[in-house]
Amino acid sequence: MSTLTTPGIASRLTDKYGRAITDLRVSVTDRCNYKCIYCRTGNDGAQYSELPLNDYLRIVGVFVTLGIEKVRLTGGEPLLRRDLPSLIHELAKLRTTDGAPLDLALTTNGHLLEEMAQPLKGAGLSRVTVSMDAIDPDIFARITRVPGSFHKVLAGIRAAQRAGLGPVKVNCVLLRGFNDDQIVPFAKFARDEGVIVRFIEFMPLEEDRLWTPEVVIPLNELTERLSTFRPLVPLSANTPSETARRYTFDDGIGEIGIIAPVSQAFCGHCSRVRLTSDGKIRTCLFSQFDHDLYARMQRGATDEEMAAYIRSTIEKKEARHHIGEPDFLKPSRSMVHIGG
């Protein structure tokens, strides 16, 4: 746990563009039991890296003294760390600079969630987001490259709802020609299962070279296609830095979110910073740089020195991504090795 005393609001993390950084994503492993076509290659053999959970705990503790309020655990597949409930149990004891408990969330592919939902809730997890890219089990298996995976994930979503980890959000990355026939089935799923379905535009973060602008289903096309099912009604944002545009249908049943980083970039109000599973800071998904916080910690840095280093990296946070522009360069890591 951090030894820093709680600093005042004036010392909260803010980048040079005036964005307050309040949201930390922590990848606890870059192993994954799925090989989603838009994320990974079909091959194994990559080198994996993960830290002892206590090291993540110390690092998160330092971030929290700098004004982090939301922590999302991710990966890789975070539920492959079977000791995850003990990390959550310790994180749940941390307090923000305002003295409030952290907003503790998890993003998972749901494959192991059925048995983990209750222990995660018991440990202090607030909410869960499950990635699910098709309602049709065959399409789902083609995307994840794991046969029989759909029913495990569905059972995981329902277990999370029963455990009180709701409202469960279900994230779907849409790819033209692969799963865009699932748009209306997902709208029905949101209404039938009482989950918030969020469609995410495909970003060039994959290990393979699948991304082209044509494969992306942009927000405007998506809202038109959803409206053929039922008229959409916009909802107001929950927070100023919310990435999803929220909608319901004309009868008020079901919630849909659309996250459109490609066609409607939201970098101007980005509040995020990421910690990779090997302890490096990433100031943007599309950054060309890693900032090696863990190396400093291993060399004996104090919490104060780590905090100073975090501040100096946030200073370098990129103004925006350059997807679709001539100067765009793929980031130095793919999504599975950054932590989504």
Contact between 74 and ligand SAM per CB under 6 A: yes
The two three-digit tokens of residue 237, written as one number? 């944002």
Q: How far is the CB of 250 from ligand SAM (least distance, A)?
A: 28
Instruction: Retrieve residue 334's tokens.
Output: 């793919």
Q: List Cα–Cα distances, 69 to 61, 86, 239, 312, in angstroms.
A: 11, 20, 13, 19
Residue from 38, 150, 294, 309 that binds ligand SAM (CB under 6 A)?
A: 38
> Of 286, 309, 336, 337, which lies in the binding site for ligand SAM, with binding defined by CB under 6 A?
336
Restricting to residues 183-212, name those near ligand SAM by CB under 6 A. 200, 202-203, 205-206
DSSP 168: P
Among 26, 32, 112, 134, binds ligand SAM (CB under 6 A): 32
Region of 43-51, 89-97, 101-109, 227-235 interacting with ligand SAM (CB under 6 A) = 101-109
Which of residues 64, 160, 173, 216 is near ligand SAM by CB under 6 A? 173
**Contact string 238-277 vs ligand SAM (x = CB under 6 A):** ----------------------------------------
The correct pick among 22, 29, 65, 108 for binding ligand SAM (CB under 6 A) is: 108
Type of residue at 189:
F
Q: Which stretch binds ligand SAM (CB under 6 A): 1-9, 73-81, 93-101, 153-161?
A: 73-81
Centre a 10 Å sphere on the Cβ of residue 4 and count the other Cβ atoms it contains.
16
Q: Is the peptide bond before 85 cis (omega within 30 degrees of 0)?
A: no
Q: Kind of pairing, strands 169-174 and 196-201?
A: parallel
Spatial separation of the C-alpha atoms in residues 207 and 213, rounded to whole Å: 17
Instruction: Give the integer Cα–Cα distance in Å for 116 and 122.
Output: 10
CA proximity to 26, closest of 2, 58, 48, 3: 58
Among 14, 65, 109, 271, binds ligand SAM (CB under 6 A): 109
Q: Determine the length of the chain.
A: 340
Q: Which residues bind ligand SAM (CB under 6 A)?
A: 32, 38-39, 74-75, 77, 107-109, 131, 171, 173, 200, 202-203, 205-206, 335-336, 340
